[in-house]
Structure 1
Amino acid sequence: MSAPLQEPEAITPSSTPPKTPKVHTLGNGVRVVCDPIPGLQTVALSVVAGRGARAEGESRSGWSHLLEHMVFKGAGGRSAREIVEVIEAQGGNINAATGYERTSFQIRALAGGLDLGSAVIADLVQRPTLDEADLTREKQVVAQEIAEAADAPDDLVFELAQTAAFEGQPLGRPILGTPQSIGTATPEALSAWRASLYGPKTLVVSAAGAVDEDELLRLAERDFGHSADGDAPPAALEPAHFVGGQRPVAKKLEQANLVLLLPAVGVKDEAYFALRLLAEILGGGMASRLFQEAREKRGLAYAIDAYSETYADAGVLGVFAGCAAADAAELARVAAGEIAGMLKPVGEAELARAKAQLKGAMFMGREGALARAEQAAGQVLLFGRTLDPAEVAAEVDAVTPADLVALTERILAHGRAAMAVLGPKAALKAGPAFEAALFG
């Protein structure tokens, strides 16, 4: 129930693109989106709050994730066991996830299960029990989750890089928080936090699959249309600023783990799809530049890829690799060289392949009902509307080699990087090697 949320995806249209789902707004500000998918025998319901760990001050770090756990301990008169049993008895399942900018509650159910699913999620979001004894136990559970993440190198290295990239800001703190910060939470304080986090003006109720729009609107009004929690519009989030820096950690491991981050653009930026394509060309698959150069030609790494992580107003271009400690510095220099190589226009064939891969991934990611419901909710929270698949495909296809060069120049103009290296001492030279190769 705690996987970080990802930014919403979009897809390329089929020959007969579906109608873009309409956004309805209830009287108290809750927004509702319905996306029927013909032929399905199941429905997915996602109730998403447009707030997460990024809304936390340092003293409340991890509270959003802790609250997400706590609402499942009892809500609306049901016990923790009854919450899951009543859903599973009808062939469904229930889950939740906390991210930096959103918190999501999700139900998958057989056709006809929307009524119960909506009522249960409404209880979780609006009427949790928040018992003190449960809170004491759940703090211990989350503390174990924090310890587990610290013991997993491929989790810890990303956390270290994130901290370096956005030091001193909510985006630079782990979503799980720390044992100290979650230790200060009380039932009363969590109740107040819930009212601000899950207020009606932050909520989107989104359903996809075997769903009727009139039924969804009726249920949304019944279950979410009367809440006055956090009635005022949510406070604006502080702008994010990429800081950068080194986070080398020597640890007895068989392999070195590297995460190299550069400041990029947010999901609302006009260069968003250029960023997605830049990451695809650099390290999105087996034909990518990093895979071919670092693994196939030089044998420096078994695993290497590039990716983009985007928030509303900020983002990063990242490279992750696992390699032998002795190869870490050279691998970092190769990564720097491939990134700098994007200052030269890519060929049309390479760009076309990247566009096809990106659109293919977007299409495949949208084929599930839950993915569709989550995507629509994310788009409404970011843009106030759902996006036409044909519009999104056109945005991808419109990116030119010159756009990629311009974005690369923009990224490198900051002269900053965030680097985390976790592994044997010999690998710790990778961070300085990356920075020196890229910026001199």
Structure 2
Amino acid sequence: MPGLETLALSVVAGHGARSEDAARSGWSHLLEHMVFKGAGARSAREIVEAIEAEGGSINAATGYERTSFQVRALRGGLNLGLAVISDLMLRPTLDPADLAREKQVVAQEIAEAADAPDDLVFELAQTAAFEGQPLGRPILGAPASIAAADPARLEDWRAGLYAPADLVVSAAGAVDVIELLALADRDFGHSPQGRLLSEPEAATFVGGARPMAKALEQANLAILLPAGGVRDPDYFTLRLLAEILGGGMASRLFQEAREKRGLAYAIDAYAETYADTGVLGIFAGCAARDAVELAQVTAGELAGLTRGVEAAELSRAKAQLKASMFMSRESALARAEAAAGQVLLFGRVLAPGELAAQIDAVQPADIARLAGTILGPRRAAVAVLGPRPALKAAEAFQRALAG
């Protein structure tokens, strides 16, 4: 990226929490924590001091289908950055005393998520959407499965999760390509391949209601409906549908629920996609007394999409989606992460013009058709968290959805 004096480096594994069974739920996230406690010849403190001494920063993230290690650095920081990341992924210490302490840290992280309404309501909805499947379990895991981890079994899990054949090394910014290739070969090209994790089983959307009473000032609603995955031909149609429904202040939900009726301060819609499946999601926060009406209005706006959208609505949604895509490319880290994800999913980096052309190809009739497909099964995962009077919103949405 010409003109930058910094770079972003990402090493991304093509597996995450979705590859876990119930007994190892949360182990990918726990492992991400543990590798920072010591790796190669460096202690936990020496890892961060080495990176920060050269003006950099280091981080990691665990998702359902990917695990990513990231370094931001000044020009010339590839050498150290990749050396540290390769130690983290391939040569962690996994000390038993560190593991015992980190289990307590993760247990507190699980408790914190349970205390955060906007985290908990999404967890309830995700569990309902994919009940009994890896996608229906929290990425953080459960206290019992975390407690069962030991260094030997965690090392076995690491060998599969971070197998070099399933890794993508991606960098953007002030990067010399020849240097990157040489360093990637140095740090990953000669490592034992170990066993490869199998691909996760296909997910099935289940759905159902998850109302939970909690002493809160507001009711929190999370609604998930079944949709296609990132490889689905309707991927960009889904993204545009979500934008029209609740992607911004001009969206249908914002205008109807907030501007016209004053039912919610926050309401939005989004598309969450995995390799083989996805969801259309809606989140709203409102007063308990307004939750039932808000659920009914949301169902009504969803049904309205099956009757078509105006050309101006679709044009605005396309402009917003393309702007978001192009603006993200101005961030070196976002560009590096996106490129790695595309290689893992499609085997190549997708050109921005190619993606923009797919967005432009979507027609109003495609939005109506996809809306009908999403609503056709009459299934949804509806979570409501808050004062008891708000809990009726889950049933109200299901009834309205059923027509």
TM-score bucket (shorter structure): over 0.9
Matched residues in 2 for 1:260 and 1:240: separation?
18
Q: Give 3-state SS (helix, strand or coil) of 1:108's partner.
A: strand
Out of 300, 309, 333, the residue aligned to residue 296 of structure 2 is 333
Q: What does residue range 370-381 of structure 1 map to in structure 2 within 5 Å?
A: 370-381=333-344
Are the equivalent residues in 1 in contact too, given 2:168–2:340 (CA < 8 A)? yes
Alpha-carbon deviation of 1:367?
Answer: 1.1
Deviation string, structure 1 residues 50-69 (Cα, Å, up to 9, x no partner): 00000000000000000000
Compute the displacement of 1:412 (Å).
1.1
- 2:25 pairs, out of 54, 61, 71, with 61
Residue in 2 that maps onto 1:87: 51
Letter matched to residue 112 of structure 1: G
Q: 1:409 Cα deviation (Å)?
A: 1.2
Q: Determine which of 244, 250, 255 is the counterpart of 1:287.
A: 250
Query: 1:363, CA displacement in angstroms?
Result: 1.4
Which structure 2 residues correspond to residues 207-286 of structure 1 after superposition, within 5 A? 207-231=171-195, 233-286=196-249
Contact map agreement 1:198 1:230 (CA 8 A) in 2 = no
For residues 92-241 of structure 1, the aligned pairs below 5 Å read 92-231=56-195, 233-241=196-204
Residue 317 (structure 1) aligned to one of 256, 263, 280: 280
Give 1:236 shift. Answer: 1.7
Say if 2:314 is the partner of 1:357: no
Contact 2:79 2:183 in 1 (8 A): yes
Whole-angstrom distance in 2 between the partners of 1:421 and 1:258: 5
State the 1:229 CA deviation: 3.3
Q: Deviations over 1:193-214 (max 9, x none)?
A: 0000000121000010000110
Per-residue Cα deviation, 1:288-316 (whole angstroms, up to 9, x for no partner): 00000000000000110011100000100
Contact 2:58-2:72 at 8 Å conserved across structures: yes
Is contact 2:16-2:63 (8 Å) kept?
A: yes
Asked if the contact 1:53/1:64 (under 8 Å) is kept, the reply is yes
Which residue of structure 2 lines up, in the alignment, with residue 347 of structure 1?
310
Structure 1 position 305 matched with structure 2 position 254: no
Check whether the contact 1:201–1:234 (CA below 8 A) recurs between aligned residues.
no
Q: TM-score, length-normalised on structure 2?
A: 0.99
Say which SS state the counterpart of residue 273 (structure 1) adopts.
helix
Aligned-CA RMSD value: 0.7
Give 2:82's aligned amino acid.
S
Structure 2 contact 224–380 (Cα < 8 Å) conserved: yes
Q: Deviations over 1:231-282 (max 9, x none)?
A: 5x43121001000001000011100000011001100000000000000000
| Residues in 1 aligned to 2:82 and 2:137: alpha-carbon distance in whole angstroms | 32
Could you tell me which amino acid in structure 1 is paired with residue 318 of structure 2?
K
Provide runs of 4+ in structure 1 moved above 2 Å. Answer: none
Q: Which moved further from structure 2: 81-90 or 409-418?
A: 409-418
The answer to whether residue 398 in structure 2 is matched with residue 398 in structure 1 is no
CA distance in 2, matches of 1:150, 1:237: 27
CA contact (8 A) 1:282 1:339 kept: yes
1:260/1:418 contact within 8 Å kept: yes
Kept in 1, the 8 Å contact 2:94–2:151? The answer is yes
TM-aligned CA deviation for residue 121 of structure 1: 0.2
Q: In the TM superposition, what whole-angstrom CA distance separates every residue of 1:348-384 from its partner, at most 9, and x where no partner exists?
A: 1111001001111111222110111000000000000
Q: Distance in 2 between matches of 1:366 and 1:330?
A: 40
- Is the CA contact (8 Å cut-off) linking 2:11 and 2:167 kept in structure 1? yes
TM-score normalised by length of structure 1: 0.91
Distance in 2 (CA, whole Å) between partners of 1:350 and 1:399 is 12
Which amino acid is 2:375 matched to? L
Task: Give the distance between the partners of 1:180 and 1:235, measured in 2 at CA.
Answer: 24
Taking the aligned partners of 2:367 and 2:255, their CA distance within structure 1 comes to 20
Q: Does 1:438 align with 2:390?
A: no
On the 8 A contact 2:19/2:197 being kept in 1, the answer is: no
What CA deviation, in whole Å up to 9, does each residue of 1:409-435 have, x standing for no partner?
A: 111112210000000000001111111
* Pairs aligned (count): 403
Structure 2: runs of 5+ lacking an equivalent: none
- Residue 78 (1) aligns with residue 42 (2): yes
SS of alignment partner, residue 374 of structure 2: helix
- What is the distance in 2 between the residues matched to 1:191 and 1:182? 14
- Write the distance in 1 (CA, Å) between the matches of 2:45 and 2:283: 40
Query: Does the CA contact (< 8 Å) of 1:49 and 1:197 recur in 2?
Result: yes
Name the structure 2 match of 1:49: 13
The 8 Å contact of residues 198 and 229 in structure 1, kept in 2 or not, is answered as no
The answer to which of 345-354 and 216-225 deviates more is: 345-354
SS of aligned partner of 2:172? strand
